[in-house]
Amino acid sequence: MGLVDIRKGGKPCIWIHCASVGEVLLVKTLVKSMEKEFNDLDIVLSTNTNTGWSVAKKCFDDKKIFYFPLDLSWVVSKVLHAIQPLCVILVELEIWPNFLINTAKMRIPVVLLNARISERSLKWYRVLRKLSKEFFEGLTREENVFCAKTRIDAARLRDLGIPGSQVCISGNMKFDNLVTDVPEDTKKRLLTLFEIDKGDRVIVCGSTHEGEEIVLLRIFKHLRAKIKQPRLIIAPRHIERVNEIVKLIESFSFRCVRKTSLDKGEKIGEQKEETVVLVDTMGELQTTYSIADCVFVGKSLIPLGGQNMLEPAGLARPVIVGPHTFNFAEETRLLKEAEAIAIVQDEPALMDKMIYLLEHPAEAKEMGERAQSVVIKQTGATERNIQVLRKIFLKERTVSV
């Protein structure tokens, strides 16, 4: 409702809007680069969700963090006057009609970074364009810039009616935030905590969703008869599901040990192959991926669009996903073209691929290295976006003077 304190201080301000957690994490490298490049600017951030707000407070504790205003003209106007931004940066697809109309009225340039637009969204914005001439004029005003993730996104933006001179392809900043190496001492601590020996073959299943754990446990049940010293680690996407996953694991006659229990001193002991480690903590999936011999990335066996397969790819881990990765279509395409990801259609195919990768460590290693190479080659979007912002800030300061 626009309950935002008036920004204090005389510095010019850049307002970055991130819808939720993913976008907040996406701009971490960007904000660091901006602070270095434009050290006389005040940077504020907004978000739409409670979790996004919480993560933003942790990542940017020295910044003003607030909720994005409801897209009502008087609310938006109130917040814009309170913040007085030199420029607004919208991350990915955050096109709000009244917000754009009001930034146009106040002559505040808007930059869409990591801009993406699906075919479905394109149809919706075409309808909105016909319904509101004022919105379309606010969207396409010459001060606005659209830094697209891919050529397809750029083409769709132009198809929407945005002049080609305002659209550029800067790439995906997600690649710039990816870690490509975890310190050896960090990995050793985790291997010791999980009691993983040299001969153990570790399967890490990350960001799993309801309906996937039961498949993975069935596979693990059969896989133990074919593979020596298998170890299974499950890291569900939603921590609140931990209790139901514990019951599911025990229903397969496996012992379940939570990571939080291991952190408190509990030991796995001799029955390691009958024990499933459940990662019930936040923010540790990346380091857990680093000890894997084989990775399955969840939300892909069920038709929900997949989760981020780039994290294990950046760490040179061999990655398997199910058939449903439409939320990460471009990332999947890049990895597939490099033969750096295994896409399976069903449970039998997933089991076969896991067994193959565990039985052929040299090929698994090469697959992981190809994946890491893809990630490294795609870096640089943040710097390209900084170059765009540099031109805008220079122009705006010249105008204000």
- Note the pLDDT of residue 81: 92
- Note the pLDDT of residue 142: 87
Give me the phi and psi of 83, to 5 degrees please: -90, -35
Chain Cα centroid distance, residue 193: 27
- Ranges 122-126, 240-244, 269-273, 280-284: which has the least confidence: 122-126
- Domain contains 3: no
318: helix, coil or strand?
coil
Average pLDDT (147-173) is 90
Q: Model pTM?
A: 0.81
CB 256 within 8 A of CB 234: no
**Residue 107 CB partners (closer than 8 Å, separation 6+):** 143
Residue 205 in this model has a pLDDT that exceeds 70: yes
CATH at residue 96: 3.40.50.11720
Give me the phi and psi of 179, to 5 degrees please: -90, 130
**Do 97 and 215 belong to one domain?**
no
40: helix, coil or strand?
coil
Domain that holds residue 46: 13-177+379-400
- Domain contains 54: yes
**Per-residue model confidence as pLDDT tens digits over 32-90:** 999 998 888 899 999 998 888 988 999 998 899 999 999 899 999 999 999 999 999 99
What's the CA gap between 334 and 153, in Å, rounded? 15
Average pLDDT (167-190) is 93
- Note the pLDDT of residue 401: 45
Residues taking part in catalysis: 23
**Do 19 and 88 belong to one domain?**
yes
How does residue 174 score in pLDDT terms, banded at 50, 70 and 90? confident
- Domain contains 328: yes
- Domain contains 158: yes
What's the CA gap between 32 and 214, in Å, rounded? 41
Residue 396 in this model has a pLDDT that exceeds 70: no
Based on the number of CB atoms within 10 Å of its own CB, is 70 exposed (0-12), middle (13-18) or buried (19 or more)? Answer: middle
**Do 271 and 285 belong to one domain?**
yes
3-state helix, strand, coil in the chain (%, to 5): 50, 15, 35
Q: 269-304 burial, b for 16+ CB within 10 Å, e for fewer? A: eeebbebbbbbbeeeebbbbbbbbbbbbbbbbbbeb
- Domain contains 99: yes
**Do 170 and 299 belong to one domain?**
no
- Domain contains 334: yes
- Domain contains 5: no
Based on the number of CB atoms within 10 Å of its own CB, is 6 exposed (0-12), middle (13-18) or buried (19 or more)? Answer: exposed
Question: Six-digit token pair at 18?
Answer: 């991130």
CATH at residue 338: 3.40.50.2000
**Do 249 and 155 belong to one domain?**
no
Question: Six-digit token pair at 55?
Answer: 């993560």
Q: Which helix (H) or strand (E) holds 313?
A: helix 310-314
The domain tally of the chain equals 2
Q: State the DSSP code for 328.
A: G
**Do 389 and 371 belong to one domain?**
no
- Note the pLDDT of residue 332: 95
CB 170 within 8 A of CB 147: yes
What's the CA gap between 291 and 193, in Å, rounded? 12
CB 93 within 8 A of CB 139: no
Outline where DSSP puts E strands in 183-267.
Answer: 201-208, 230-236, 255-258
313: left (phi over 0), alpha (psi -120 to 50) or beta: alpha
- Note the pLDDT of residue 10: 77
Question: Six-digit token pair at 383?
Answer: 């710097």
Beta bridge partners of 275: 255
Handedness of CA 153, 338, 377, 361 (dihedral sign): positive
Question: Six-digit token pair at 217?
Answer: 């446990």
**Do 123 and 193 belong to one domain?**
no
**Do 229 and 340 belong to one domain?**
yes
**Do 133 and 189 belong to one domain?**
no
What's the CA gap between 284 and 158, in Å, rounded? 40
**Do 88 and 135 belong to one domain?**
yes
Mean pLDDT over the full length of the chain: 91
Residue 18 in this model has a pLDDT that exceeds 70: yes
Tell me what percent of the residues of the chain surpass a pLDDT of 90: 68
**Do 222 and 324 belong to one domain?**
yes
**Do 257 and 170 belong to one domain?**
no
How does residue 398 score in pLDDT terms, banded at 50, 70 and 90? low
CA nearest neighbour of 44 among 74, 26, 68, 20: 68
Long-range own/partner contacts, residues 74-77 (CB < 8 A, 24 or more apart): 74/2, 75/1, 75/2, 76/2, 76/102, 77/102
- Note the pLDDT of residue 117: 81
- Note the pLDDT of residue 22: 83
